[in-house]
Each structure stands twice: as structure tokens, then as C-alpha cells.
Amino acid sequence: MAPVTTIDTQYLGRPGFAAAYLLVEGGEAAFIENNTARALPLLLEALGRAGLRPEQVKYAVVTHAHLDHAGGSSALMEACPGATLLAHPRAAKHLVDPSRLVASATQVYGPERFRELYGEIRPIPASRVRAMEDGERLRFGARELEFFHTRGHANHHLCVRDSGSNGIFTGDAFGLVYPALARSRPFAFPSTSPTDFDAEAAKAAVRQIASGDPERVFLTHFGERAEVADIAEQLLRWLDFYGELFARARDAAGPPDELEDTCRRQIEEEFLRRLEERGISTGASTGELLELDVALNAQGIALAAQKARGRSPGGR
């Protein structure tokens, strides 16, 4: 197996929370996931440990344009002058012109907190960005990288099958497995964060990844895992639950501003039940680790339900 280096990006100051990956082939390098500009020193440090310089980086790949995956792309591309950025066609345009991404995140966090989290996100010249079509293949040294589109978490999401490791870089399409919650076996759950959650598309993506029979998956959140079938089974059960929760939220009476609180309470209850089912302690540290994901998943379900309400005849 050609080695893959996992880089802990220390996202939000937390170890084991978000990863980037480094591939090295014949004196050239490729990064998969770029995290934020705050992680750039960690990526370049890993590159240096592999005996390579920034000028030897050939590719930088992002699975989708969410800022914990792609926010550091402009900083990385500036540091690596020979690199080409590879992304889903819908993500590529937002990396060439990140104004909408920046405006949306700034509205959520405020200017000061946005800069603290993500630094500066600048446009990337279109000549340095390559949109990867569904099923497109690329030679990188002795490896072949195959890109395939995986909707569900986001409409602009792709995964990368790597012949060198017989693995798949899954972004957020194959769930989250935090090392702190994966003692003897993984505790896996999907991300339904805003704005494009689709339960059926997400299930199709999980099945597509698992059916490719990879020996391992490389999760952005977090790390390399070999328990592909176990993770897939957990994710499909979760997505059934989220699909039912979405349907209830869509059809519920009452104002939209109550949806998120209702979804959050039900998601918290389900997390507690499934953690107990897997024999995982639900102490304060566990709650703190999952707090952000519970909130984001509740927002994603509530937003999807509100959109569906608006599309339905006589929608609220």
C-alpha cells in the first residue's frame, strides 16, 4: 500500500476533529482537504517531514466547499505555486469567487469571529482550478485517483477513490467518527449540516462508497478507518432516523422558528440512546465533543424542512 499521511489540522483548537491528507508520489505531493488558513503551517510541516518543498505540490483536492474543508485553499495555493486545485464543478466556482461563501459565513459568525476561525479567504485564479466530473480519473505517479460525485451532505460534494491505498477519501459523505468515541469499535453518524441535506441522496452515497469494496476510508472527521461495513450500517440507520425527523418537521404545525429547537431535542435524545447502545460513556466530555454536530444537524434538518414547506402546495 502506498502510504497516506493523516494531518490533524487542530480545527477549532481540537485534536482529532478534522483531518487533511498528504499523498507523495515520485517527488510530487497532493493534499486532500485543505481545512482553513490556520492549518497551513501544519500542512507545510507535514510536507517538509516527507522531504518535499511547496514547489513540489502538484494537486490540492477538496471534497466540497464548506470552510472546514476548503477555507484554506487560497492560502495553500499561494504557498504552493505549481499546484492545481481539484474540486466538484459546483464547488470550483465558489473557490474562484469565494464572495458568497465569505458573506454567508461572516453573517453567521460576525467579521471578527470569522477572521479568527478562517483567516482571509481570497479568490483563486480560474487557470489554477480544475473541475472534476463524475467518474473522471487522474494519474498521480503510480496511483490512479477516481473522482465521483456524492450528493446528500452537499450538492457540490465529491469523493476520491485512491488505487494506491485501496481507499476512498470521503469528505463528509461517509459520516463522522471521532477517535475519542471510537474505542474498540467506531461510533459513526452522518452530518446533515446546512444547506443541501437530502436523506435519500445521502443513503445512496453511503451505499456507493461501501459497494466499491474499499479496504479503508479516509474521513475528514476523522482519520483512516477500516470498519467500512460497520460504519455504513450505522450511517444508514441514522439516515433513516433523519429522514423520518425531516418528514415530521416538514409536516408539523407551528412557526418555522420552533423547528430547530424541536429537531435538536430529538437529535440529542437519539445520540444518547445510540451512545448507550454502543457502550460509550455520555459524560461531559462526550457532550462537549458532539455539541457542535448536534446543533449543525438540527439546523440542517430544520432548514431542509422549511424549504420543503415552501415548495409544497399551500406551504407554510
Please identify, among 228, 256, 278, the residue that sits at the C-terminal boundary of a domain: 228
Are residue 201 and residue 273 in the same domain, yes or no? no
Question: What are the distances in angstroms from CA 79 to CA 43, 53, 60, 117, 229?
Answer: 11, 10, 11, 19, 38
Higher pLDDT, 182 or 5: 5
Average pLDDT over residues 199-226: 97
For residue 315, name the pLDDT band (cuts at 50, 70, 90).
very low
Given a cut of 60, whether residue 111 has pLDDT beyond it is yes
Domain count, the chain: 2
Average pLDDT over residues 63-72: 95
Residue of 156, 176, 201, 169 lying closest to 294 (CA atoms): 176
- Beta carbons within 8 Å of 89's beta carbon, 6+ residues apart: 131, 132, 133, 156
CA 124 to chain CA mean position, Å: 21
The answer to whether the beta carbons of residues 55 and 80 sit under 8 Å apart is yes
**pLDDT value of position 153:** 93
| 101: in domain | yes
- Beta carbons within 8 Å of 267's beta carbon, 6+ residues apart: 245, 294, 297, 298, 301
- Which pLDDT tens digit goes with each residue over 266-284? 999 999 999 999 989 888 7
Q: What is the mean pLDDT of the chain?
A: 92
Across the strands, what pairs with 225? Answer: 217
Amino acid sitting at position 38: R
Cα separation, 158 vs 87, in Å, equals 8
- Which pLDDT tens digit goes with each residue over 136-180? 999 999 999 999 999 999 999 999 999 999 999 999 999 999 999
**pLDDT value of position 311:** 55
CA 315 to chain CA mean position, Å: 31
Cα separation, 14 vs 160, in Å, equals 25
Average pLDDT over residues 39-53: 97
Domain of residue 265 covers: 230-311
Average pLDDT over residues 5-28: 96
Given a cut of 90, whether residue 105 has pLDDT beyond it is no
**pLDDT value of position 257:** 72
Given a cut of 70, whether residue 237 has pLDDT beyond it is yes
Residue 163 DSSP symbol: T
Given a cut of 60, whether residue 312 has pLDDT beyond it is no
Are residue 222 and residue 290 in the same domain, yes or no? no
Are residue 187 and residue 286 in the same domain, yes or no? no
Are residue 43 and residue 11 in the same domain, yes or no? yes
**pLDDT value of position 1:** 63
% residues pLDDT > 70 (the chain):
97
**pLDDT value of position 287:** 84
Q: How many CB atoms lie within 10 A of CB 170?
A: 28
| 316: in domain | no
Are residue 192 and residue 138 in the same domain, yes or no? yes
Cα separation, 38 vs 175, in Å, equals 24
Are residue 148 and residue 264 in the same domain, yes or no? no
